[in-house]
Amino acid sequence: MKGFIKSAIACSIALSSVSCTTTTEEAKQQPNILLILVDDLGYGDLSINGGTDIYTPHIDQLFKQGMMFTNFYANSTVCSPTRASLLTGCYPDMAGVPGVIRTHETNSWGYLREDLATLPQMLKKAGYNAAIIGKWHLGLESPNTPNERGFDFFHGFLGDMMDDYWTHLRHGKNYMRLNQKEIQPEGHATDIFSDWAIDYFQEVKQEDNPFFLYLAYNAPHFPIQPPDEWLEKVKQQNPGLSELRAKNLAFVEHMDDGIGRVLAALESTGLSENTLVIFSSDNGGSLPHGASNAPLRGGKQDMYEGGIKVPTCFVWKDHIQGGTTTENLGLTMDIYPTLLDITGVALQNQIDGLSLYPTLTGKEQNTSERAVYFMRREGAHYGGLCYYAARLGDFKLLQNSPFEPLQLFNLETDPKEENPLDVSVQEYDSLKYIQSQHIRKVGAIPWQKPSDYSDQNFHK
């Protein structure tokens, strides 16, 4: 086992040390960037991803135009941690956001580190105008608001979730903002964010500088509130559906329509000719609210595949071959170094993500042999404790609460995670040890020697 761990860790170090590897003139390009992140989308809630009772033509078409990742993972089972990883290129606990940031301090579990350079701050080094439209969820007040963390323009929602998609309130508070100004827009939040993105394209189409637009929908996060006409349409098309499932389908299909309008506007303004479009979700779908993560086990909040594996694609005309798929392992935090690689921006601080640019351009790359980690800290019945998962190759060690025993699965032979392996299997102790060293690194205090697992003092 000593050799197995040493080899695995050496591989992880080697991969992380070359997070941004493409520094040639070829990489120093200036595409516009549209990053669409949706909220709690079920893995099986896209027709292109196997959904049989749902119709998502616009997202489907986007996936067909670029490269689809069949092994792409959110960095956490819930919202804030994944978003912190997206904007820092780091694991959530390394970014200071191990759990959900909320309105009430006693139930808030993160603070985005101020010493980390965010993605918009880095892209501005390459001349980008950086904007966020939609959900922020990484801070409700100064200094962790979008305009203070690198975005030139913010038109959206500061909070975690809306209690109502029409009033846009959370705990009776209004978190809708135009930059720093409180605003009160009218309409369904999904339509509002789509409209604002379209307006943004009209504003920047004549600009000389490229743009980075982070379009973050609240949908389809609960409460599940599709407009009435969309719910009626779904019920007519699928009369045998339960009310719960019908509402979820209508909610996603309504969002798909909004994304279709956004992509059509990108095309009509001529901006699509040189725009890299990325689509992903912050975690899996919520099963109690009618989502489907088929054929995966589990859902939002679980470390099972259904909680963290997310539909993801990259589309870039004349640069990424359309209609392609890759089995390479990707995580939300990899988007950060990938975009820096493409735009030729050098890293400012150490990150955990790995550039996927070689994969996107058809070059040889294997990202699946690194050890990767997933975690979440939460209050309530979790007691403020963390729970974890770790993966290396086909083996995955996980728990779904801090009080559950760790279970080991072989995803190649057991993709639905139905048959945990015996704890005597070598990989069980190996992954458990590797995971412990990540926890040690994140929680380092002065008496510990700072290390990227280089001490080589492995247990037998």
Q: What is the pLDDT of residues 371-427, one digit of tens each?
A: 999 999 999 889 999 999 999 999 999 999 999 999 999 999 999 999 999 999 999
Task: Tell me, yes or no, whether 384 lies in a domain.
Answer: no
Lowest mean pLDDT among 9-23, 140-154, 426-440: 9-23
Amino acid at 279: F
Cβ neighbours of residue 87 closer than 8 Å, sequence gap 6 or more: 95, 112, 118, 119, 120, 138, 149, 336
Task: Tell me, yes or no, whether 96 lies in a domain.
Answer: yes
In which residue are the tokens 């080991």 written? Answer: 408
The residue from 20, 79, 313, 386 that is catalytic is 79
Q: What is the mean pLDDT of residues 118-129?
A: 98
pLDDT greater than 50 at residue 431: yes
Choose between 42 and 19: higher pLDDT: 42
Predicted local confidence at residue 351, as pLDDT: 98
User: Is 79 noted as a catalytic residue in this protein?
Assistant: yes
Helix (H), strand (E) at residue 123: helix 119-123
Alpha-carbon span 401 to 403, nearest angstrom: 5
Task: Tell me, yes or no, whether 179 lies in a domain.
Answer: yes
Cβ neighbours of residue 167 closer than 8 Å, sequence gap 6 or more: none
b/e per residue 39-76 (b: at least 16 CB within 10 A) = bbbbbbbbbbbebebbbbebbbebbebbbbbebbbbbb
Task: Tell me, yes or no, whether 456 lies in a domain.
Answer: no
Mean pLDDT of the chain: 92
Query: What is the CA 360 to chain-centroid distance, rounded?
Result: 18
Our count of domains for the chain comes to 1
Task: Tell me, yes or no, whether 6 lies in a domain.
Answer: no
Would you list the DSSP string of 9-21? HHHHHHHHTTSS-
Predicted local confidence at residue 444, as pLDDT: 83
Task: Tell me, yes or no, whether 232 lies in a domain.
Answer: yes
Q: What is the pLDDT of residues 208-246, one digit of tens each?
A: 999 999 999 999 999 999 999 999 999 999 999 999 999
The residue from 20, 90, 137, 168 that is catalytic is 137
Choose between 20 and 265: higher pLDDT: 265
Q: What is the mean pLDDT of residues 300-311?
A: 98
pLDDT greater than 60 at residue 456: no
Query: Sign of torsion, CA 347 32 314 150?
Result: positive
Q: What is the pLDDT of residues 164-195, one digit of tens each?
A: 999 999 999 999 999 999 999 999 999 999 99
Please report which confidence band the pLDDT of residue 449 belongs to, taking 50, 70 and 90 as the band edges: low
Predicted local confidence at residue 448, as pLDDT: 58
The CATH number for 38's domain is: 3.40.720.10
Q: What is the mean pLDDT of residues 296-316?
A: 98
Alpha-carbon span 435 to 15, nearest angstrom: 17
Task: Tell me, yes or no, whether 396 lies in a domain.
Answer: no
Alpha-carbon span 96 to 75, nearest angstrom: 13
Would you list the DSSP string of 217-258? --TTSSS----HHHHHHHHHH-TTS-HHHHHHHHHHHHHHHH
Predicted local confidence at residue 29, as pLDDT: 75
pLDDT greater than 60 at residue 9: no
Q: Domain range for residue 219?
A: 20-360
Task: Tell me, yes or no, whether 97 lies in a domain.
Answer: yes
User: Is 221 noted as a catalytic residue in this protein?
Assistant: no
